[in-house]
Amino acid sequence: MPLLLLATMLFVVSYPVKGASLEIPAETAYLEPNHGDARVSREGGIVGWASSSTSIQWYGKAREAGTVDVRLRIKGNDDGEATLLFQIGRKTTQRAIKIKQSEETMVAFDSFPIPSTGYHAFRLSRVDLQKNNPPSMDILKLELSGENASNMHFNLKPRRNAASIHLAYPVRNDMGVAAFYCEMTALEDPVHSYYMACGWHRGYFGMQVNSPSERRIIFSVWDRGNEPTDPSKVENEDRVKLIKKGDGVFTGRFGNEGTGGHSHLKYPWKTDSLQKFLVTAKPKDETHT
């Protein structure tokens, strides 16, 4: 079976030159709480924001303390009025605005102190002046300027999940390894968490929280080659082949993060309980295991 590097996701960050502005796309922000009354679009930022019960938050890291000037670009989906509130740390600034359908507007807020190095939340919320049918708007981008903008960095990619963390140990090239064994205990279980027990050059084995009521054990192996998205473009001789599977195991092909073969078993593993993982490999010839 061919092997491939399991890569951690790297966030793209930005460090502007001194005095320059820093533009943070709205699609990198988080909806809190995410009720579904607005959505994140890779093309349009935060789309259809009409509820005062949902705030929008960016998270940025300061290399130095200082101040930043904040502006926000929005686009109206309706005609109407709203009051926007922007908060960094203990300071909140309020702006009353009028929006028009399909019209973009830049809203300027005050300068905000960044009191310390490290991560800070940049929070946008609203007060609805029209209690019935408050106007909907799209949030396009957050813009920072001023002396400390050059000392901030943000994730500028639409993927908003955290970078994976890998622990590894050295294995000499001349070692004839027949199996990898790992014991793992999950202490917490937020939905969508994935805990990799055994990962190698072209595959991974671990457990996942798929929903409040479903958990899985996942085993996946990438194809040979470097096709990034489309499994149909992989030649037959380069594809991972299923030999056999156990009862209740789902198997299929995957794409869009490399291509390969995926398998999972729905299994109710529990937090604070030891799980044991074993991966074996037997060479078939010079290019297959």
When pLDDT is averaged across residues 235-244 and rounded to a whole number, the result is 92
For residues 92 and 43, membership in a common domain is answered with: yes
For residues 85 and 135, membership in a common domain is answered with: yes
Residue percentage of the chain with pLDDT more than 90 = 66
* Per-residue pLDDT at 129: 64
For residues 116 and 72, membership in a common domain is answered with: yes
Residue 172 lies in a domain: no
| Nearby residues of 183 by Cβ (< 8 Å), 6 or more positions away | 274, 275, 276, 277
Residue 111 lies in a domain: yes
Burial 229-249 (b: 16+ CB within 10 A, else e): eebeebeeeebbeeeeeeeee
Last residue of a domain, one of 138, 153, 168: 153
Residue 6, H or E segment: none
Band of the pLDDT at 14, cuts 50, 70, 90? very low
Residue 268 lies in a domain: yes
Per the structure block, which two tokens stand in for 201? 């050059």
For residues 144 and 197, membership in a common domain is answered with: no
For residues 27 and 139, membership in a common domain is answered with: yes
Residue 135 clears pLDDT 80, i.e. is over it: yes
For residues 221 and 259, membership in a common domain is answered with: yes
When pLDDT is averaged across residues 44-59 and rounded to a whole number, the result is 93
d(CA 244, CA 223): 17
Residue 134 lies in a domain: yes
State whether residue 216 is helix, strand or coil: strand
* Per-residue pLDDT at 13: 42
Band of the pLDDT at 34, cuts 50, 70, 90? confident
* Per-residue pLDDT at 159: 76
Q: Are 35 and 53 in contact (CB under 8 A)?
A: yes
For residues 142 and 207, membership in a common domain is answered with: no
pTM of the model: 0.62
* Per-residue pLDDT at 20: 72
Q: Are 127 and 85 in contact (CB under 8 A)?
A: yes
d(CA 246, CA 242): 11
CATH number at residue 38: 2.60.120.260
Q: Which domain range does residue 216 map to?
A: 179-280
Q: Are 199 and 205 in contact (CB under 8 A)?
A: yes
* Per-residue pLDDT at 6: 33
* Per-residue pLDDT at 288: 73
Last residue of a domain, one of 118, 153, 188: 153
Band of the pLDDT at 7, cuts 50, 70, 90? very low
| Nearby residues of 49 by Cβ (< 8 Å), 6 or more positions away | 37, 38, 56, 126, 136, 137, 138, 139
When pLDDT is averaged across residues 133-154 and rounded to a whole number, the result is 93
d(CA 178, CA 174): 12
Tell me how many degrees the CA angle 204-210-212 measures, rounded to the nearest 5: 145
* Per-residue pLDDT at 8: 32
* Per-residue pLDDT at 136: 94
Residue 201 lies in a domain: yes
Structural domain tally of the chain?
2
Predicted confidence (pLDDT) per residue in 158-184, tens digit: 777 777 778 888 888 888 888 999 999
For residues 98 and 189, membership in a common domain is answered with: no
* Per-residue pLDDT at 16: 45
When pLDDT is averaged across residues 241-262 and rounded to a whole number, the result is 94
